[in-house]
Chains A and B, each alone.
Chain A
Amino acid sequence: MHSREMDDFRKISEHDNVAIALRVLQPETKLSIDGADITINNTIGFGHKFALSNIKRGELIIKYGETIGRATEDIKRGDHVHTHNLVSMRGRRIA
């Protein structure tokens, strides 16, 4: 069964390449976003982010339509996006 956006997740800006889980999403959960299907790959906690597209290492992560950091590894559509694969570009010795 496909999930409905307002209950299960939120994409804040049309430019975003991540969305927020509004309930715990289990692996294999299928979502429909902007007419395309996404399968969740990991457990995504409440409020946590998952990728809406494949994102290559070094590419920017966009939320609120603005840059929130850079991918530190290749991220697949449906992957959990958090501190293990996303790094800040501000206030760092090595940006």
Chain B
Amino acid sequence: MNELRGYWNEDNKPGIRNSVAVLPLSVFSGTAALNISNAVEGTTLLLHTHGRAEIGLNRERFHTNIVNQILNPNVQSALLVGYEHKTTERYLSEIRSKTKKRVESIVVLDRGTIDSVADGTKIAMELSSAASEVTREPMSVSDLCIGIKCGSTDATSGIASNPAVGSAIDNVISQGGTAIFSETTEIMGAERVLAKRAKNGEVAKKIVDAVKKNEEYAMSLGVDLMGVNPVPDNIEGGISTIEEKSLGAILKSGTSIIQDVLGFGEIPAEKGLYFMDSPSAAQEVLTALTSAGCHLILFSTGMGNPSGTPISPVIKVTGNRHTVKRIPEHIDVDVSGMIFEEMTRTEAGKRVYQYVIKVVNGKRTRAEILKHREFSPVPVGL
């Protein structure tokens, strides 16, 4: 049975989860948001420590990541928990102009944390009650947007889990679906291989330029990427250099044509495979991918990264049989048979794809069950 069913929302898009988002707009309204979410079943908390005095690029990224989370199809409705009146009104009117979903707000400085929790709980209760009436209806693979990430990479990632994820992604793209991979630093050394898959010369140049800009930025800070990336768990796993990590990493994007390069957290305009210009730390990339509208994330890991998101399920795929034995609670799909040639790329890809279909239809991933809900709207890494 490969029928997919999703929760169609007011924007006429199917979500694979049916969340009432409780979203603090600033670090100071986080406590009220936390208490509201704890009090109301069916809500999803997007807790963070930002939203005050960010400047320049980080201010833009925070803004995009906050607004776009609510536009993600997995969100049915939302309560914005603001700190002060002016910013809260600005976010509320912008988000309402972009979605027909029900979006409400409260302001902590207007009434204090205690009354904000009481009033916010009443609002969230009504939103949860309404959301629970929505039932799953048929959707198709072409409605899906899948994020692709790898983390806690080791030498098995490049020969098993990344090719397996790439095969599943090829399948989704061939059925008219959408997928986004990212991590600009982690295509460094492999950008010319990727550029050959670009839709045209302009997109090829964008891919190469994104890496060049990142490399120049690192130089301008006077930092050396050696010692920063690969990270210690990569090195322990046998990865020696960023080029080696990148050449293995790009295999998770499959073999499809790359339509365009997206900005951080940007929603793709069309269907197909996209590259997002972004930093590479897992929690920051996952936040940007849910911002871009990804229903779920395929996450390839060697050493067993546990991360999740508040909005979208994250499926962990590993090719490392030691990791499967050591920390099974971090792993959803085991493709370690590829290492010993007991399983081909196509067979492993099919296993990943079938798991995706189950998760679309409601199966909980390990990260969901363990409540891994990392949310990091302001990136700090490269």
Contact = CB atoms under 8 A, between A and B. Distances in A.
B158 interface: yes
Nearest to A67: B243
A33 to B, nearest CB: 16
A65 to B, nearest CB: 9
A6 to B, nearest CB: 5
A86 B156 CA distance: 19
A68 interface: yes
Contacts of B215: 90-91
Contact of B159 (A10, A89, A90): A10
Contacts of B109: none
B243 A47 contact: no
A51 interface: no
Interface in B187-243: 188-190, 193, 214-215, 218-219, 222, 224-226, 229, 235, 237-238, 240-243
A47 B154 contact: yes
B322 interface: yes
A68 B244 contact: yes
B67 interface: no
A45 to B, nearest CB: 7
B188 A91 contact: yes
Contact of A69 (B190, B219, B240, B322): B240
A87 B241 contact: yes
Contacts of A90: 188-189, 215, 225, 241-243
B87 to A, nearest CB: 37
A68 B247 contact: yes
A92 B188 CA distance: 12
Interface residues of B, number: 35
Contacts, number: 97
A89 B224 CA distance: 11
A25 interface: no
B359 interface: no
A40 to B, nearest CB: 15
A47 B237 contact: yes
Contacts of A88: 189, 225-226, 240-243
Nearest to A88: B241
A46 B218 contact: no
Given A47-B154, A92-B225, A93-B219, A68 B189 contact: yes
Contacts of A82: 235, 238, 240
A10 B245 CA distance: 17
Given A6-B341, A49-B238, A20 B222 contact: no
Interface in A32-72: 45-49, 63-64, 66-69
Contacts of A45: 238
A7 interface: yes
Nearest to B248: A64
B189 A67 contact: yes
Contacts of B190: 66
A58 to B, nearest CB: 15
A69 B229 CA distance: 14
A6 B340 contact: yes
B234 to A, nearest CB: 10
A82 to B, nearest CB: 5
Nearest to B239: A47
Contacts of A86: 240-241
B241 A69 contact: yes
Contacts of A87: 226, 241
Residue picked from A47, A83, A86, A89, most chain B C-beta under 10 Å: A47
B285 interface: no
20 contacts: A10-B339, A21-B238, A46-B155, A47-B320, A68-B189, A69-B241, A69-B244, A82-B235, A88-B226, A88-B240, A88-B241, A88-B242, A88-B243, A89-B243, A90-B241, A91-B214, A91-B226, A91-B229, A91-B242, A93-B219
Interface of A: 6-7, 10, 12, 20-22, 45-49, 63-64, 66-69, 81-83, 86-93
Interface of B: 154-156, 158-159, 185, 188-190, 193, 214-215, 218-219, 222, 224-226, 229, 235, 237-238, 240-244, 247-248, 302, 320, 322, 339-341
Given A64-B248, A68-B244, A91-B218, 14 more contacts: A12-B158, A20-B238, A47-B237, A67-B189, A68-B243, A81-B240, A83-B240, A86-B241, A88-B189, A88-B242, A90-B215, A91-B214, A91-B226, A92-B225
